[in-house]
Copies of this chain bind each other. A is one copy, B any other.
């Protein structure tokens, strides 16, 4: 069986901090959010690797990136630390076909902003309010096996206006107790690669233990996996396919 090669990249800073807040987060995610996501989407046809910011080459040496078919990205406090050269490499890999799944505060990651072109800004508020998700397209592969609506008891609010391009195909929208709405599950294609942004996942709530959240992320992995990665193409088409009879004017000087 051919396995999809998945890499879960996590900033892994909130879970590592030596503080009461860090300890609280570790009560949900003792080995980091990436470890829980990896466990909850595990399947025979997935080959899942984890990577974190503090590792050599910020966790994504070229060999691993070139061996990745779907990349998941969770970042927040250290967006600025991610090197532009790494962002360049990831962008190029997405353009060649690699799937990219951007989670929660990754909306402000360098790589997501790079792929979108807009600022990806949004309203936000973290008071632990209730979030309810609604499926907008029940036929979408990412929504299969998930109830049309489900609830997260405590969540960080992400609200409209969300500065993303108009080609975002909305699969999920969220309702928040405090009165906000959000396009919380949105698909894009950039060149040959697919991108899925999914909003839930604040580090101080056990959201990646939620069955529906994990089913959506799992579905997104299969949806974003490329049939193949495309090699670079020669774009200079010197010889036309059809005969040209125009005669290019000679420069007269």
Residues of A participating in the B interface, judged by any CB pair closer than 8 Å: 20-21, 23-24, 27, 91-92, 95, 97, 114-119, 121-125, 127-130, 132, 134-139, 141, 144, 148-149, 151, 153-154, 157, 159-163, 165-167, 169-170, 173-181, 183, 188-193, 204, 226-227, 230, 233, 235-238, 240-249, 251-253
Please tell me if the beta carbons of B253 and A20 are within 8 angstroms of each other in the complex.
yes
Cα(A141)–Cα(B181), bound, Å: 21
Within 8 Å CB of A238, what residues of B? Answer: 125
- Beyond A119-B95, A160-B135, A175-B181, whether A244 also contacts B190 by CB under 8 A is no
Please tell me if the beta carbons of A178 and B227 are within 8 angstroms of each other in the complex.
no
A73 CB to nearest B CB, Å? 15
Cα(A243)–Cα(B127), bound, Å: 12
Cα(A236)–Cα(B125), bound, Å: 6
Please tell me if the beta carbons of A181 and B178 are within 8 angstroms of each other in the complex.
no
Please tell me if the beta carbons of B121 and A237 are within 8 angstroms of each other in the complex.
no
- Beyond A175-B180, A245-B177, whether A136 also contacts B118 by CB under 8 A is no
Please tell me if the beta carbons of B235 and A122 are within 8 angstroms of each other in the complex.
yes
Interface pairs A-B: 10 shortest CB-CB? A128-B248, A178-B240, A179-B242, A167-B167, A24-B251, A179-B241, A139-B192, A118-B191, A115-B117, A166-B167
- Beyond A161-B134, A246-B128, whether A180 also contacts B95 by CB under 8 A is no
Within 8 Å CB of A163, what residues of B? Answer: 95, 191
A202 CB to nearest B CB, Å? 11
Within 8 Å CB of A247, what residues of B? Answer: 128
- Taking a contact as CB atoms closer than 8 A, the residue among B118, B119, B134 that contacts A180 in the complex is B134
